[in-house]
Chains A and B, each alone.
Chain A
Amino acid sequence: QSALTQPASVSGSPGQSITISCTGTSSDIGAFNYVSWYQQHPGKAPKLMIYDVSNRPSGVSNRFSGSKSGTTASLTISGLQAEDEADYYCSSYTITSPWVFGGGTKLTVL
């Protein structure tokens, strides 16, 4: 069982917005602002999309945004495009592990 909980799947139509949640505990997401999000297309390595809860690396579209409330972090993708269809993983620094990932969310663009 993954330490962080994500929905198994989400879907949306082109142009719409979707949000993926990532629920942790007071030992990880609740303790630090060190949540990051990764996009993974089939057969490819993960790619960093958001770091430190809400920061975008250079080159990542501003359609991707992140936030956190308590022990739950969220990734929002606005203006959905076909190329956004992928698996998304959250990750957090933790007091114990010290890094943990979510189980992953499959995004389908309808």
Chain B
Amino acid sequence: QVQLVQSEAEVKRPGASVKVSCRASGYSFTDDYIHWVRQAPGKGLEWVGRINHKSGGTNYAQKFQGRMILTSDTSINTAYMELRRLRSDDTATYYCARVTVGTTCFDPWGQGTPVTVSS
């Protein structure tokens, strides 16, 4: 079945960078997009960005422009989200999710990767 498995929890200092991975299985990785969504503790969902694995093209929510880099390694069906210059308000669980080409819904989701930014 289609599955997304993310890397483990991270704890970082303010100003550092974090890189979260999302390994896909059960479908043709390059045919679809991987999106990233984050959720701060006790808060709602926030769309972060997406990557087209075939072209390498990316789109980011405006607030993350210049601080976030989405990449993928198609040889191992894995997408990556790197967030730089971390701040305490970046503390959140980061989810990856598949969006099939021609659709706009997120299905399935990875299990989530908690990222804590604290001095």
Contact = CB atoms under 8 A, between A and B. Distances in A.
A104 B44 contact: yes
B55 to A, nearest CB: 17
B25 to A, nearest CB: 16
B111 A45 contact: yes
A45 B109 contact: yes
A46 B104 contact: no
Interface in B95-119: 95, 97, 103-112
Most chain B Cβ neighbours within 10 Å, of A48, A57, A103: A48
A103 B110 CA distance: 20
Given A36-B104, A48-B106, A51-B103, A97 B112 contact: no
A64 interface: no
B11 interface: no
A89 B107 CA distance: 14
Nearest to B106: A48
A84 interface: no
Interface string A66-110: 000000000000000000000001010100011111111000000
Interface string A30-55: 00101010100000011110011000
Contacts of A51: 103-105, 107
Contacts of B59: 98
A52 B112 CA distance: 24
Contacts of A57: 107
Interface string A4-34: 0000000000000000000000000000101
A26 to B, nearest CB: 17
Interface of B: 35, 37, 44-47, 59, 61-62, 95, 97, 103-112
Q: Which A-B residue pairs are the 9 nearest by beta carbons?
A: A51-B105, A48-B107, A99-B47, A45-B109, A36-B105, A34-B104, A101-B45, A93-B104, A104-B44
